[in-house]
Amino acid sequence: MPGPLVNTSTGFSIGVADTTLMTKAEDFYKNLVGMKAQSSANSEKILVSEDDKFSLTLKLSKDALSPAEVDGLKSKMETSYKNADWRSLASHISLKTANLNTLVQSFRANGFPVQLFPNELYPTEAYTFDPVGNLIGFTCGQNAMTLKPKATKLEKPEVFQLPPGALSVSPSQSAPIPEGQAKRNIAVMTSGGDAPGMNACVRAVVRAAIYKGCNAFAVMEGYEGLVRGGPEYIKKMAWQDVEGYLTDGGTNIGTARCMAFRERAGRLKGCKHMIDAGIDALIVCGGDGSLTGADLFRAEWPSLIQDLKESGDITPEQYERHKHLNICGTVGSIDNDMATTDATIGAYSSLDRICKAIDYIDATANSHSRAFVVEVMGRHCGWLALMAGIACNADYILIPEKPSSSKDWKEQMCEIVGKHRSSGKRKTIVIVAEGAITNDLEHISAKEVKDVLVDRLGLDTRVTTLGHVQRGGTAVAFDRVLATLQGVEAVNAILESTPDTPSPLIGIEENQIVRLPLVEAVRITKSVADAIEKKDFDGAMALRDADFTEHLNNFMAINTAIHEKPTLPLEKRKRIAIINVGAPAGGMNSAIYSMATYCMSRGHTPYAIHNGFSGLARHESVRSIDWLNIQGWTSMGGSEVGTNRATPEETDLGMIAYYFEKYQFDGLILVGGFEAFTSLHQLERARAMYPSFRIPMVLIPATISNNVPGTDYSLGSDTCLNSLMDYCDIVKQSASATRNRAFIIEVQGGNSGYIATFASLACGALASYVPEEGIDLAQLELDVEALKKEFSTSENLSKSGKLILKSTNASKSLTTQVLADIMKLEGDHEFDTKTAIPGHVQQGGLPSPIDRTRASRFAVKAVQFIENTFETINSSRNSFDFSNESPELSETAAVLGVNRSHLKFTSIRQLYDYETEHGRRMPKKISWLKTRTVCDQLVGRVKLQS
């Protein structure tokens, strides 16, 4: 038979206890596996494959399993043959073979029991134990797979100590459990107030822990469950126990306030119950109070466990095994009040509820020319009120971080609202955080705000208190993805921690999952409330993240567009144009609104170029932007100024240059996808010929495909992801009701699989096919077998339906319908398949809060870029020897993007020449590909490696 391949390695070694076992092992690998002897000695034998590509060394070792231990292991495995997956009980090496069936028959004929996967009818993997007690796997797939951590005394060189793969968008890599280390028992709990997305975090922790070869536990009812203990409150979790968690709001494992845990006696009980359950690591998803309790628990652990040992409540063996406790935190809080991280689990879901409510209120306010005072949550943090104010174009907000005297806030609010009304605005929205205060720490109620608007301005005013509606409902796509990636990274952090490692907090910076010092994050968070209590409001603002201050400054600048004097002197004011290019995307209108109002506050004149470059060249479609006409644009989908895909060279470059000169534009902001990227390149290249293009130009990426080079995130992709997620949830419900049906859903995105990948992660799809990978027939066969297994087991009675996502361009031959037909045919009537094509529904209706607020931030940054770079290029505006090759001048035409944990401008020249795959309209480096590993691992998909 052909020689096997072992993960493309050159060799491996196996320790053997004595010469009798050495002979048995040599016969096994020579006569059954098909290797040949290269050298033979009493203490070491070397075997090689038939093609001489790798070798196996058998050598005597005092650490190897004794004959008695080998017999005991074999007896245990033979007993568990029908009811346990051997791969979960022992480590294994995987080998490749060309004829799996022949090999299996040979093993069984010689008395070696074999487990086949995914099933006996169509096996692609086979596992048996060699004569010295090692689990050996064989596959006829494209690659051998080594997935489980070591549990036996198998001796292997470093080449075999491979991690299962990167499990998050963070730079940290997961690592196997070190040699000799016991299997970890990792528990997860949710504590404090519930938040949408907590269930996604629990699911990720449980499945990532099981995938890593650990035992997973859930502590029910938060710290209350730790104090009460027992199997009712500390439950061992199986893979299927968290099926369907993604679509559930709240937390399925419960949460409760626990006064007992605040006392040492309660923590002592918790320590005892954790040791009884064998738990040695705890992942806590909660707010600052819950994480403070977790870190205190770890700090006291040595003394707690010592007390239990001295009192005889635990054995010396338990004491030695549980001397150290690892803690890791993920933040679940709708207030987004944890310092050092950009977002907490549940915050954007809560913001989504608020924005939808205000959008509804906005319509009736406009109808009756009313004022509405909306109270939102945020006892010590005004993030929800601030971001809702930006996303919904509120007239005024009141937050605890920036109070004024009881007289000043009333006068300021009435002045702003009064001027907005006198300018023709029919509606008024004031957003009040529940923790809003004056600088004397006096609480400001929504009723008080209403009374001021009624008494001083005579407005017909209503109060709406959203209350716990803000906590309810399923999580938005962002929170599902965030919670999932943080849960997986929390397991990585636990496995990589030592007794001396400080407790980490898993957070996010821009677009990057990161590990942060838990103690420091909690300390800074609590310092904000302390600073407010001491009336040190500047100190409180300084302790907030820089993004919070930036958003607040942007809101105040945008909100003062027509009732404050411009902040720039006359000679520094510019004429700035904005244009949409490409397909419409959520956030385009928000970007135009924020750009225009920020320009007005600075003294610039904003222009909108309608209907893209073709509209400009054919119809001179340039209009100055009027403040009143753009009211409400932040919550509108599509593009109010119109857009198309035509680039300057496809229309009339000379005519475009003529109109740029006619209107004397001093800067240009492009909002769009790859067509906008190409347009910026063409304009920058044409600077040598057309002086009117020698102005600062900046691109704000906006496309559902998220395929613009220079950024990890584009406006519109979050809106698209939410729309697609909602669509998939509905289809999944239909699939679960039918029981034996799977849906193949076609996903847009051009040559980018971004949307398909993250929708798969947010919806728990069993597989996703993307253009970056294509559709491999061997992989398709494995996926069909996995589907058959899913539908043939009793777990299929669960409420979770089965979905498979396919990007439109994943394969030209295997269309969505063809794919569904193949799966149905190959499924041997085990299941039915249907197709679902959401089409342009994926572009979304109303833009998501993330796209609204990021559009606002990007627009302000873009205007500031034009202000900061104008002088650099203006000095060369009329130069006869203008050079496109000047690095300094090329920096004035840039793409504004999110790059890992930073927001940065990158020159179009650098991106277009070196970082773009033009034929596929894609960046050369794709930041999110590692996330696909998480998608596959958390649904148990067997993936062939390329």
What distance in Å separates the CA atoms of residue 587 and residue 126, rounded to the nearest whole number? 52
For 396-437, where are the alpha helices, taking DSSP H only?
406-422
Residue 154 has pLDDT above 60, yes or no: no
Q: Specify whether 682 is located in the same domain as 785.
A: no
Q: What is the CATH number of the domain that holds 30?
A: 3.10.180.10
What distance in Å separates the CA atoms of residue 125 and residue 104, rounded to the nearest whole number? 10
What distance in Å separates the CA atoms of residue 277 and residue 633, rounded to the nearest whole number? 56
Residue with tokens 């922790």: 205
At 827 the pLDDT is: 81
At 392 the pLDDT is: 96
What distance in Å separates the CA atoms of residue 205 and residue 259, rounded to the nearest whole number? 26
Q: Max Cα separation, the chain?
A: 101
The residue among 508, 563, 274 whose CA lies nearest residue 395 is 563
Lookup: tokens for 46 = 């070397």
What distance in Å separates the CA atoms of residue 717 and residue 634, rounded to the nearest whole number? 16
* Residue 125 forms part of a structural domain: yes
Q: What is the pTM of this model?
A: 0.81
| 921 marked among binding-site residues | yes
Least confident of 154-163, 506-515, 533-542, 756-765: 154-163
Residue with tokens 């390329």: 946
Q: Backbone phi, then psi, for 261, in 5-degree steps?
A: -70, -15
Burial 167-180 (b: 16+ CB within 10 A, else e): bbbbeeebebbeee
| 843 marked among binding-site residues | yes
Q: Specify whether 707 is located in the same domain as 854.
A: yes
Position 166 confidence tier, pLDDT thresholds 50, 70, 90: very low
At 157 the pLDDT is: 26
The residue among 526, 928, 548 whose CA lies nearest residue 761 is 928
* Residue 537 forms part of a structural domain: no
Q: Specify whether 23 is located in the same domain as 143.
A: yes
| 288 marked among binding-site residues | yes
At 122 the pLDDT is: 57
Give, for 507, the enclosing helix (H) or strand (E): strand 504-509
The residue among 306, 318, 329, 307 whose CA lies nearest residue 278 is 318
Position 145 confidence tier, pLDDT thresholds 50, 70, 90: very low
What order do you get walking across the sheet with 461-465 strand by strand?
Answer: 396-398, 428-433, 371-376, 461-465
Residue 134 has pLDDT above 80, yes or no: yes
Q: Specify whether 746 is located in the same domain as 826.
A: yes
Residue 845 has pLDDT above 90, yes or no: no
Q: How many CB atoms lie within 10 A of CB 910?
A: 17
| 704 marked among binding-site residues | yes
| 705 marked among binding-site residues | yes
Least confident of 169-183, 388-402, 694-708, 782-796: 169-183
Active site residue: 194, 248, 335, 342, which one?
335
Q: Specify whether 109 is located in the same domain as 96.
A: yes
Q: Specify whether 706 is located in the same domain as 723.
A: no
Q: Specify whether 197 is located in the same domain as 337.
A: yes
| 582 marked among binding-site residues | no
Q: Checking phi first, is residue 154 left (phi over 0); if not, alpha (psi -120 to 50) or beta?
A: beta
Q: Specify whether 314 is located in the same domain as 406.
A: no
Residue 737 has pLDDT above 90, yes or no: no
Residues 376-386 have pLDDT tens digits of: 999 889 999 99
Residues 294-312 have pLDDT tens digits of: 989 999 999 999 999 999 9
The residue among 384, 381, 380, 382 whose CA lies nearest residue 348 is 384
Where does 748-831 show beta strands of DSSP type E? 767-769, 802-807
Q: Which residue did the predictor score with more confidence, 187 or 244?
A: 187
Q: Which residue did the predictor score with more confidence, 79 or 73?
A: 73
Position 735 confidence tier, pLDDT thresholds 50, 70, 90: confident
Q: Specify whether 380 is located in the same domain as 462.
A: yes
What is the residue-wise DSSP string for 554-608? HHHHHHTTTTS--SS-GGG--EEEEEEESS--TTHHHHHHHHHHHHHHHT-EEEE
Lookup: tokens for 66 = 């004794």
Under a CB-based contact definition with an 8 Å cutoff, are residues 230 and 243 in contact? no
* Residue 51 forms part of a structural domain: yes
At 176 the pLDDT is: 44
| 257 marked among binding-site residues | yes
Where does 582-693 show beta strands of DSSP type E? 605-609, 622-624, 667-672
What distance in Å separates the CA atoms of residue 137 and residue 130, rounded to the nearest whole number? 10
Arithmetic mean of pLDDT, 816-826: 93
Arithmetic mean of pLDDT, 678-701: 96
What distance in Å separates the CA atoms of residue 513 and residue 516, rounded to the nearest whole number? 10
* Residue 531 forms part of a structural domain: no
* Residue 363 forms part of a structural domain: yes
* Residue 619 forms part of a structural domain: yes
Residues 52-77 have pLDDT tens digits of: 767 788 888 887 888 888 888 777 77
* Residue 897 forms part of a structural domain: yes
* Residue 556 forms part of a structural domain: no
| 749 marked among binding-site residues | yes
Q: How many CB atoms lie within 10 A of CB 829?
A: 9
At 416 the pLDDT is: 94
At 161 the pLDDT is: 24
Give, for 537, the enclosing helix (H) or strand (E): helix 537-543
| 469 marked among binding-site residues | yes
474 DSSP assignment:
P
| 842 marked among binding-site residues | yes
Q: What is the CATH number of the domain that holds 371?
A: 3.40.50.460
Least confident of 121-125, 428-432, 572-576: 121-125
Under a CB-based contact definition with an 8 Å cutoff, are residues 195 and 333 in contact? yes
What distance in Å separates the CA atoms of residue 443 and residue 400, rounded to the nearest whole number? 9
Residues 194-219 have pLDDT tens digits of: 999 999 999 999 999 999 989 999 99
Q: Specify whether 69 is located in the same domain as 154.
A: yes
Q: What is the CATH number of the domain that holds 703?
A: 3.40.50.450
Under a CB-based contact definition with an 8 Å cutoff, are residues 348 and 849 in contact? yes
| 774 marked among binding-site residues | no
Arithmetic mean of pLDDT, 657-672: 97
Number of domains in the chain: 5
| 333 marked among binding-site residues | yes
For 124-255, where are the alpha helices, taking DSSP H only?
198-211, 222-228
Under a CB-based contact definition with an 8 Å cutoff, are residues 184 and 280 in contact? yes
Q: Specify whether 328 is located in the same domain as 220.
A: yes
The residue among 669, 196, 599, 633 whose CA lies nearest residue 391 is 633
Residue with tokens 């998939």: 728
How high does pLDDT run on average in the chain? Answer: 88
Q: How many CB atoms lie within 10 A of CB 313?
A: 15
How far CA 807 is from CA of 214, 766, 774, 856, in Å, comes to 34, 14, 9, 30
What is the residue-wise DSSP string for 115-162? EEES-SSS-SEEEEE-TTS-EEEEE-SSS----SPP-S-----GGG--
At 577 the pLDDT is: 98
User: What one-letter code names the amino acid at 442?
Assistant: E
The residue among 856, 841, 776 whose CA lies nearest residue 143 is 776
Arithmetic mean of pLDDT, 517-543: 88
At 171 the pLDDT is: 29
Residues 862-888 have pLDDT tens digits of: 999 999 999 999 988 888 888 888 889
| 137 marked among binding-site residues | no
Cα-Cα-Cα-Cα torsion 343, 348, 354, 358, nearest 10 degrees, comes to: 100
| 389 marked among binding-site residues | no
Under a CB-based contact definition with an 8 Å cutoff, are residues 671 and 592 in contact? yes
Arithmetic mean of pLDDT, 787-809: 75
Under a CB-based contact definition with an 8 Å cutoff, are residues 203 and 171 in contact? no
The residue among 459, 492, 519 that closes a domain is 519
Lookup: tokens for 70 = 């080998």
| 462 marked among binding-site residues | yes
At 507 the pLDDT is: 93
Under a CB-based contact definition with an 8 Å cutoff, are residues 14 and 132 in contact? yes
At 151 the pLDDT is: 30
Lookup: tokens for 391 = 């996303």
Strand partners, 903: 898
Under a CB-based contact definition with an 8 Å cutoff, are residues 736 and 815 in contact? no
Strand partners, 189: 219, 284
Cis link prior to 118 (omega < 30° from 0)? Answer: yes
Q: Specify whether 156 is located in the same domain as 263.
A: no
Residues 4-52 have pLDDT tens digits of: 333 334 567 888 888 888 888 888 888 888 888 887 777 788 888 777 7
At 91 the pLDDT is: 63
Least confident of 25-34, 633-642, 842-851: 25-34
> 820: domain range?
719-844+931-938
User: Has 342 been annotated as catalytic?
Assistant: no
Q: Backbone phi, then psi, for 41, in 5-degree steps?
A: -140, 170
Q: How many CB atoms lie within 10 A of CB 535?
A: 14
| 840 marked among binding-site residues | yes
| 909 marked among binding-site residues | no
Q: ∠ at Cα 9 (7, 11), nearest 5°?
A: 120
Q: Backbone phi, then psi, for 543, in 5-degree steps?
A: -80, -20
